[in-house]
């Protein structure tokens, strides 16, 4: 782990987890390296706050230009957080007015577990409504000034007047994985909190968070932030029942995610009885992947899911029908047109992603068997092959 990464974790332990931050360590890593690392994991605001509002020693590390730039970035982050909370209140009022039951998901809830809500940044807002209410919900939001950008699979994507993106779900996944049956019964785990607003039970909220983390491994990584979320969820809820995680087959993944989360945010070393090699590989995979995952990580995962290089490229070129239907609703409505949509995908890819495809081809061809095996062992250690 780099010095920038090590110092980043110390800052988060101090600003979010309540641990002291010795001034003597402030100069251990270059400021820009630490801030860039935090930004890659969508966790910049607590780090900016540390340098801007900490001791005089902290502030002395910043040039006047850096201080001005950091202040503007921090103020913009605060402004976005205020807009997020404002949009959440507008949606709540709209749905209460129309008697539409809804459940805030993921970051919209986890923000409240942080010492300050602005410390947990988001790129969008996720809300669940019942399938029979989705059309009514969309109409109500359009009346309130929202624009429907796209309807895709299990959710619609909207844009608020303030610019925030809303993903309005009518189910929690399209993925055909072992946890799907549990997710499809989500409303059975909903508890009313006010008027038409519901929240998930603690055990379901924990399960859904773990499921979402595992799902994103297939995209090349989920970043550090979900591990901090997990650390806070455990302290918010205390002794969580984990039968749903066990039933879904995600116990091994949850256990190892918690081990890493405790190491990063409580500085708790790995148990000596726990094999550390796969944990080290997993930790490196997450850190290198950033908040959105990397193409390189995604290629490694997908290369492991195919028996050989030929099968990997065949899968990339001829996307399976079920995956194609998720991207093109017309293919789902008219299965006979699936070949036409396959061609449409090729044309769009050549126009938009030609350089990216050449880069992927070069990277996939250059992968060593040792590296592929290492990631394969990580997947099997986490027991998430069926979730990718």
For the chain, 388 residues long, give each residue's pLDDT as a single digit of tens.
898 999 999 999 999 999 887 554 566 678 899 999 999 999 999 999 998 987 677 777 888 999 999 999 999 999 999 999 999 999 999 999 999 999 999 999 999 999 999 999 998 999 999 999 999 999 999 999 999 999 888 999 999 999 999 999 999 998 888 899 999 999 999 999 999 999 999 999 999 999 999 999 988 999 999 999 999 999 999 999 999 999 999 999 999 999 999 999 997 776 655 556 889 999 999 999 999 998 889 888 888 877 666 666 666 667 777 777 777 778 777 888 888 878 887 777 767 776 766 776 676 777 778 888 899 999 999 999 999 8
Closest CA to 171 of 223, 134, 210, 205: 134
Question: For residues 349 and 342, what is the distance between their CA atoms, to the nearest angstrom?
Answer: 11
The residue with tokens 């959440």 is 88
Residues 329 and 241 in one domain: yes
| Segments in the chain forming alpha helices (H) | 3-15, 31-40, 44-53, 56-60, 64-97, 107-110, 134-143, 180-184, 202-217, 225-237, 243-248, 251-266, 277-289, 295-305, 309-317, 321-327, 329-333, 338-352, 354-366, 369-382
Residues 233 and 298 in one domain: yes
**Among candidate residues 176, 199, 222, the one where a domain is terminated:** 199
Question: For residues 131 and 266, what is the distance between their CA atoms, to the nearest angstrom?
Answer: 41
Residues 172 and 281 in one domain: no
Residue 159's domain comprises 99-199
Closest CA to 194 of 104, 84, 82, 85: 104
Q: Is residue 84 part of a domain?
A: no
pLDDT at position 100? 98
Q: Which residues pair with 169 in a beta bridge?
A: 128, 155
Whether the pTM exceeds 0.85: the reply is: yes
Residues 347 and 223 in one domain: yes
pLDDT at position 26? 60
Q: Is residue 139 part of a domain?
A: yes
Instruction: Sort strands 165-169 and 190-194 into parallel, antiparallel or unpaired.
Output: unpaired
Q: Is residue 262 part of a domain?
A: yes
Residues 247 and 115 in one domain: no
**Among candidate residues 199, 220, 248, the one where a domain is terminated:** 199
């Amino acid at each position: 782990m780099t010095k920038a990464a090590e110092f980043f974790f110390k800052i988060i332990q101090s600003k979010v987890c309540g641990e002291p931050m010795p001034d003597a360590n402030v100069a251990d890593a270059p400021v820009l390296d630490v801030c860039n690392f935090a930004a890659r994991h969508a966790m910049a605001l607590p780090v900016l706050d540390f340098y801007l509002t900490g001791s005089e020693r902290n502030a002395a590390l910043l040039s006047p230009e850096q201080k001005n730039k950091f202040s503007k970035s921090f103020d913009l982050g605060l402004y976005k957080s205020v807009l997020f909370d404002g949009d959440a209140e507008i949606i709540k009022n709209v749905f209460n007015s129309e008697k539409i039951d809804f459940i805030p998901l993921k970051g919209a809830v986890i923000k409240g577990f942080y010492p300050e809500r602005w410390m947990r940044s988001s790129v969008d807002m996720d809300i669940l409504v019942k399938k029979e209410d989705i059309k009514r919900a969309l109409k109500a939001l359009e009346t309130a000034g929202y624009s429907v950008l796209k309807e895709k699979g299990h959710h619609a994507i909207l844009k608020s007047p303030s610019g925030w993106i809303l993903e309005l779900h009518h189910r929690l996944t399209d993925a055909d994985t072992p946890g799907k049956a549990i997710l499809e019964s989500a409303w059975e785990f909903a508890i009313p909190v006010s008027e038409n607003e519901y929240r998930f039970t603690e055990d379901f909220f924990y399960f859904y968070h773990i499921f979402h983390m595992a799902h994103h491994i297939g995209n090349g990584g989920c970043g550090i932030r979900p591990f901090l979320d997990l650390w806070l969820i455990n302290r918010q809820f205390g002794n969580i029942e984990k039968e749903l995680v066990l039933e879904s087959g995600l116990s091994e993944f949850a256990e190892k995610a918690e081990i890493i989360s405790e190491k990063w945010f409580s500085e708790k070393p790995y148990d000596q009885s726990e094999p550390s090699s796969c944990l080290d590989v997993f930790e490196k995979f997450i850190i290198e992947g950033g908040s959105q995952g990397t193409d390189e990580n995604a290629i490694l995962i997908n290369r492991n899911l195919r028996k050989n290089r030929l099968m990997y490229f065949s899968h990339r070129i001829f996307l399976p029908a079920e995956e194609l239907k998720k991207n093109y609703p017309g293919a789902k409505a008219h299965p006979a047109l699936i070949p036409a949509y396959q061609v449409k995908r090729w044309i769009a890819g050549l126009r938009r992603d030609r350089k990216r495809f050449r880069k992927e081809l070069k990277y996939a061809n250059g992968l060593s068997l040792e590296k592929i095996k290492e990631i394969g062992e990580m997947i099997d250690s986490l027991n998430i092959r069926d979730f990718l």
